[in-house]
């Protein structure tokens, strides 16, 4: 099987490669094509891969290219993992908002809208290319904001695009650990949008074990979500939210914590990643050090704000970004019927949104792709956030596809975490001035 990664010079590509190299299944990937617009990044990542290859008996062959159609042609699966505007774009998204006292974050708040605006046209170009040269391929989309980007691509690819995220996997792993029960024995009743979902129940042998857990503050404090949200707040909600809900429930704390740190996540990573990509010698060791540092500092603003200390060792393996992707490919190619949380068309699963809306829910995945399983309906306040954000996502897609600056402003201003139309306008002005990737998209008033 052939897998193509678009954004193949990305830092997390070696994780995927390692997972592929250790895969012993009959349907394993034996050819990996890495596409990137930046040749140097491809070379740096390739050096890490060749170090990894030496440790495995049958590592996949690797081909590097900057030609998109050539990369996609003949692929069975395409991973989309690109970062339009690079980390410099992320820094701009964060700072443009933070300087106005508004949350500045990669996917949540104004940052997610801005990131989506410049990414959607490029994601659509990829979708068109896949439809043209590899119409049978599945596209697995990691590109953030993943829900919005998957929804945009689904207009071209229908069910051949599936969005994924490792956050729900991490959450399930931690809850399973807390319950002391293997993950496979628990049915996780989870629903929402990407980075906006809630765990409603954790069922074992027909019994929901979540209420018992929510009644035990000391135990909850043993996982990130307990420390981040506080056991009392979790008990009030009666759910365990995705970690990204911290930016919603604790917005002022998040802004204060990021300001106090002095550097944003994007600024931190820009420096860290530049050092990695510019470095010489022992590619694997430098990559591994950098990766560990990235994992250890993930969502540091949340931990600093809640005095949560360091991340748990068990959480440092990256939440399984690579493993979700591999599990999804295998479930399709070997018709395995695996259950995975994915971003797929709603199809009546959640009453809150229409059938075409991309939602993040558990699905059974076989040869004909994912099918959502029945889940609990959203609670009233969750429903409010989800319907509002679906509208923001669609307004962003409309702006990105029509080039309308006023639609872009509307998307920003309708976001509940952007506190004023004036701020929305200032953020957009600054982004337009700083990022050619955006001014190129919004060409109409
Ligand atoms: C989690 C999220 C991803 C996001 C990443 C950011 O894994 O699910 O969607 O890209 O965190 O991590 P970073 O190290 O870039 O801040
Ligand atoms: Mn994610």
Task: Determine the CATH number of domain 2-164.
Answer: 3.40.50.720
Here the tokens at position 55 are 């440790």
Q: Which two tokens stand for residue 288?
A: 């591994």
Ligand 1: residue whose CA is nearest its atom 8: 167
Q: What would the pLDDT profile of 357-407 be if each residue is shown by its tens digit?
A: 999 999 999 999 999 999 999 999 999 999 999 999 999 999 999 999 999
DSSP 409-442: HHHHHHSTTS--HHHHHHHHHHHHHH-HHHHTT-
Q: Is-above-0.95 flag for pTM?
A: yes
Give the model's confidence band at 350: pLDDT under 50 very low, under 70 low, under 90 confident, else very high.
very high
362 lines ligand 1 (CB under 6 A): no
**Residue 294 CA, closest ligand 1 atom number:** 14
- Which atom of ligand 1 approaches the CA of 165 most closely? 8
Specify whether the CB–CB gap between 359 and 387 falls below 8 A: no
Angle at 188 between CA 182 and CA 194, to 5 degrees: 125
CA-CA distances (angstroms) from residue 381 to 385, 386, 422?
6, 9, 26
- Summarised one tens digit per residue, pLDDT across range 299-347 is 999 999 998 888 988 888 756 788 899 999 999 999 999 999 999 999 9
Ligand 2 centroid to 165 CA: how many Å? 4
Between CA 105 and CA 3 the distance in angstroms is 31
Atom 16 in ligand 1: which residue has the minimum CA distance? Answer: 298
> What is the C-alpha R_g of the chain?
21
Q: How far is the CA of 205 from the centre of ligand 1 (A)?
A: 33
Question: What would the mean pLDDT of 292-297 be, rounded to a whole number?
Answer: 94
Domain ranges, ordered by start, for the chain:
2-164, 168-249, 251-315
- Rounded to whole angstroms, how far apart are CA atoms 420 and 195? 23
pLDDT of residue 208: 98
Contact of 315 with 224, CB cutoff 8 Å: yes
C-beta separation of 3 from 32 below 8 A: yes
Segment holding 190, helix H or strand E: strand 187-193
CA 139–ligand 1 middle distance (angstroms): 19
pLDDT in tens, 5-21: 999 999 999 999 999 99
* Residue 336: HSE in the Cβ half-sphere, 13 Å Cα cutoff: 16
Share of the chain above pLDDT 90, in %: 95
Q: DSSP letter string over 335-369?
A: T--EEEEEEEE-TTS-TTS-TTSEEEEEEEEETTE
With both helix axes pointing from N to C terminus, report the angle between 110-133 and 86-98 in degrees, rounded to the nearest 10: 150
Would you give the distance in Å from CA 278 to the centre of its chain? 26
């Amino acid at each position: 099987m052939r897998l193509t990664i678009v954004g193949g010079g990305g830092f997390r590509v070696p994780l995927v490669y390692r997972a592929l190299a250790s895969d012993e299944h009959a349907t394993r990937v034996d050819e990996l094509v890495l596409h990137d617009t930046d040749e140097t990044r491809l070379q740096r990542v390739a050096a890490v891969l060749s170090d990894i290859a030496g440790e495995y008996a049958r590592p996949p062959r690797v081909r590097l290219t900057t030609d998109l159609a050539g990369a996609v042609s003949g692929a069975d699966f395409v991973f989309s993992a690109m970062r339009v505007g690079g980390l410099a774009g992320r820094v701009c998204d964060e700072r443009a908002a933070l300087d106005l006292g508004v949350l500045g974050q990669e996917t949540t708040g104004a940052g997610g809208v801005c990131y989506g605006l410049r990414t959607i046209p490029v994601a659509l170009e990829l979708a068109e290319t896949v439809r043209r040269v590899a119409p049978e391929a599945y596209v697995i989309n990691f590109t953030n904001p993943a829900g919005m980007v998957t929804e945009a691509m689904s207009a071209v690819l229908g069910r051949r695009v599936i969005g994924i995220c490792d956050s729900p996997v991490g959450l399930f792993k931690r809850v399973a650990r807390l319950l002391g029960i293997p993950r496979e024995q628990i049915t996780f009743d989870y629903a929402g949008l990407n980075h906006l979902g809630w765990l409603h129940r954790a069922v074992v042998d027909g019994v929901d074990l979540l209420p018992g857990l929510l009644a035990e503050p000391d135990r909850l404090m043993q996982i990130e979500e307990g420390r981040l949200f506080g056991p009392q707040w979790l008990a009030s909600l009666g759910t365990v939210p995705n970690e990204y809900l911290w930016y919603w429930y604790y917005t002022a704390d998040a802004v204060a914590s990021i300001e106090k740190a002095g550097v944003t996540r994007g600024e931190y990573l820009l420096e860290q990643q530049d050092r990695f990509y510019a470095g010489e010698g022992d590619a694997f060791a430098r990559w591994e050090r950098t990766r560990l540092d990235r994992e250890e500092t993930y969502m540091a603003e949340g931990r600093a704000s809640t005095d949560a200390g360091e991340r748990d060792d068990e959480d440092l393996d990256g939440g399984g970004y690579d493993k979700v992707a591999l599990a999804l490919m295998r479930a399709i190619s070997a018709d395995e019927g695996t259950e995975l949380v994915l971003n797929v068309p709603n199809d009546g699963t959640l009453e809150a949104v229409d059938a075409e809306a991309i939602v993040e829910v558990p699905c059974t995945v076989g040869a004909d792709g994912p099918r959502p399983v029945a889940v609990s309906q959203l609670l009233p306040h969750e429903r409010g956030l989800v319907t509002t954000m679906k509208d923001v996502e669609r307004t962003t897609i409309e702006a990105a596809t029509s080039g309308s600056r006023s639609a872009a402003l509307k998307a920003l201003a309708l976001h509940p975490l952007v506190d004023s139309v004036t701020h929305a306008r200032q953020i957009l002005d600054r982004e337009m001035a700083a990022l050619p990737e955006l001014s190129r998209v919004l060409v109409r008033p």
